[in-house]
C-alpha cells in the first residue's frame, strides 16, 4: 500500500542549516557598542567586533559580552597580556617585571589599542567614517617615542632584540595608517586619556615628561595630574656627570652610533649629512633636545640606535625645500644642484619618529599612503 505522504524534500533541512549558519555568523561577528566605555571614551560612537578575526588579534575579546566586560578585560590586557606580547615577545625585553608592569606603560597605550580594535572592526560592524574615526598620527608618534624610551631603559627592559627599532617603526606606521589620521577629524590621545598626560599610573614616565626643567612642566595636563613636584625626577638616560642631558651623544653613552637609519615614512635611509623635515611638533624634555615645529628642517650630524639623532637646525623650511625641488625639476636641474643652506644654533638631539626625508614630507602631510607600501606591517596587527 502506497503512502499518501509527499516525497521528502530538502527545503526544510536547507532552511534550518541556513538559519544555523546565519546564527553562527552573527555570533562570530557580534558587535558591541563603545558608548559609555571608560577605557575608550573618545571612541564612544564606535562599535567593536568579537568575531574570529578580532579574537585572533586580541584573545581577551572572546570573553567580552558587553561594554562593561570590554572595559574590564581591556584594562587587564594592558597590564599583562599586552606587555608580554609587545615588550617581551616583539621587542625582546629581557628584564620585564611581570609582577609590576606599571612603569611599562607607554604614553597613550590604551588609546592605541582602542584605535586598533576599532579599525579592525570596520568591516565586521559596517562602521561609517564617523563611527571609525582613527587616532591622530601625532598621538601615534607620542606613543612610539614613549615606547622607545621604555625599550631603551635597562632597568625597565634590559636588553632588546636586534630589530627593536624596526618593530617600533612598524608600531607607529600601523597606528597612523588610516588616511584620516592626518585630518582634523582624528581623535587625539588627550581626548581619550585626559588624566596624567596619557601615562595612566606610570609615574616614572609622567615625572620625566613633566619635570620642572622641562617646558612640559607648564602643560595643563601636568598641572592637572596627580604629581608631587617636590623632587626632581631622574631620567633613565641621565647620569651623575651630566644630569640635564638625555641624548645619547651627550648623556650616558649607553647608545651606539649608526651609519644610517631607516626613514619611518619611506623606504629610504637617513644618513649623517642629510637634511630632514619635521612632521610632528615635539616639546623637549631636557636642555639638549630640540623643540620641533612642523616644517622646520634639521641637518643630521649623528644617528643613534635608540631612535634619536643629533643635528643642527637649518634656515630653509620644508615648504621652501619643496618649492625649490619643483623649480629644479621643471628646469631639468638635479636635486644635488640646490644651493647649500645655513645651519643655525647649536647641536641638539631629536627623535627620528618626528621627522622624515624632505622629499616625503609633503606626501606624508597630505596623507598619501602610497609610498613604501611593501614595507608596511600587516594592517591587522595591533
pLDDT greater than 60 at residue 376: no
φ/ψ of residue 92, rounded to 5 = 75, 25
Please give the grid coordinates belonging to residue 185: 577629524
Task: Give mean pLDDT, residues 23-38.
Answer: 73
CA distance 170 to 370: 16
**∠ CA(124), CA(87), CA(120), 5° rounding?**
10
pLDDT score for 367: 67
| pLDDT digits 0-9 by tens, 159-196 | 999 989 889 999 999 999 998 998 889 999 999 999 88
Ranking 215-219, 241-245, 310-314, 366-370 by mean pLDDT, the lowest is: 241-245
Contacts of residue 329, defined as CB under 8 A and 6 or more positions apart, other chains included, come to none
Question: pLDDT per residue over 247-277, tens digit each?
Answer: 444 444 456 788 888 888 888 899 988 999 9
Neighbours of 311 (CB within 10 A): 24
In 3-state terms, what secondary structure has residue 159? coil
| Residues in a beta bridge with 235 | none
Highest mean pLDDT among 27-36, 262-271, 312-321: 312-321
Average pLDDT value over all residues in the chain: 79
Q: How many CA atoms lie within 13 A of 115 on its CB side?
A: 31
Neighbours of 20 (CB within 10 A): 10
Q: List, by residue range, all CATH 2.30.30.40 domains of the chain.
A: 254-371
More confident residue, 250 or 125: 125
Q: Which helix (H) or strand (E) holds 125?
A: helix 122-125
Domain 254-371 has CATH 3.40.50.1980: no
- Residue 26: count other Cβ atoms within 10 Å of its Cβ: 11
What pLDDT was estimated at residue 143? 96
Supply φ then ψ for residue 312, to 5 degrees.
-125, 140
pLDDT at 363: 86
Amino acid at each position: 500500500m502506497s503512502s499518501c505522504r509527499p516525497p521528502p524534500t530538502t527545503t526544510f533541512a536547507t532552511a534550518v542549516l541556513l538559519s544555523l549558519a546565519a546564527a553562527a555568523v552573527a555570533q562570530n561577528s557580534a558587535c558591541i557598542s563603545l558608548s559609555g566605555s571608560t577605557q575608550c571614551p573618545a571612541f564612544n560612537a564606535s562599535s567593536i567586533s568579537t568575531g574570529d578575526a578580532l579574537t585572533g588579534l586580541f584573545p581577551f575579546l572572546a570573553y567580552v559580552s558587553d561594554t562593561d566586560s570590554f572595559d574590564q578585560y581591556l584594562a587587564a590586557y594592558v597590564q599583562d597580556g599586552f606587555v608580554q606580547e609587545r615588550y617581551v615577545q616583539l621587542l625582546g625585553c629581557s628584564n620585564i617585571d611581570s609582577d609590576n608592569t606599571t612603569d611599562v606603560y607607554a604614553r597613550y597605550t590604551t588609546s592605541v589599542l582602542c584605535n586598533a580594535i576599532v579599525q579592525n572592526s570596520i568591516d565586521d560592524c559596517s562602521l561609517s567614517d564617523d563611527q571609525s574615526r582613527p587616532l591622530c598620527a601625532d598621538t601615534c608618534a607620542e606613543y612610539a617615542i614613549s615606547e622607545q624610551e621604555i625599550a631603551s631603559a635597562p632597568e625597565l627592559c634590559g636588553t632588546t632584540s636586534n630589530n627593536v627599532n624596526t618593530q617600533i617603526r612598524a608600531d607607529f606606521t600601523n597606528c597612523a595608517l588610516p588616511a584620516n589620521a592626518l585630518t582634523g577629524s582624528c581623535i587625539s590621545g588627550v581626548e581619550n586619556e585626559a588624566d596624567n598626560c596619557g601615562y595612566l599610573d606610570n609615574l616614572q614616565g609622567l615625572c620625566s615628561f613633566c619635570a620642572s626643567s622641562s617646558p612640559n612642566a607648564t602643560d595643563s595636563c601636568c598641572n592637572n595630574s596627580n604629581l608631587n613636584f617636590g623632587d626632581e625626577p631622574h631620567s633613565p638616560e641621565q647620569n651623575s656627570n651630566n644630569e640635564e642631558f638625555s641624548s645619547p651623544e651627550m648623556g650616558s653613552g649607553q647608545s651606539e652610533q649608526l651609519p644610517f637609519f631607516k626613514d619611518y615614512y619611506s623606504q629610504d635611509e637617513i644618513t649623517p649629512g642629510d637634511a630632514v623635515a619635521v612632521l610632528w611638533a615635539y616639546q623637549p624634555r631636557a636642555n639638549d633636545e630640540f623643540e620641533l615645529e612642523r616644517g622646520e628642517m634639521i641637518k643630521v650630524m649623528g644617528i643613534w640606535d635608540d631612535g634619536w639623532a643629533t643635528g643642527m637646525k637649518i634656515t630653509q623650511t620644508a615648504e621652501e625645500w619643496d618649492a625649490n625641488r619643483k623649480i629644479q625639476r621643471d628646469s631639468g636641474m638635479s636635486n644635488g644642484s640646490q644651493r647649500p643652506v645655513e645651519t643655525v644654533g647649536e647641536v641638539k638631539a631629536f627623535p627620528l619618529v618626528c621627522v622624515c626625508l624632505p622629499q616625503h614630507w609633503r606626501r606624508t602631510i597630505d596623507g598619501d599612503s602610497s609610498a613604501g607600501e611593501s614595507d608596511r606591517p600587516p594592517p591587522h596587527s595591533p
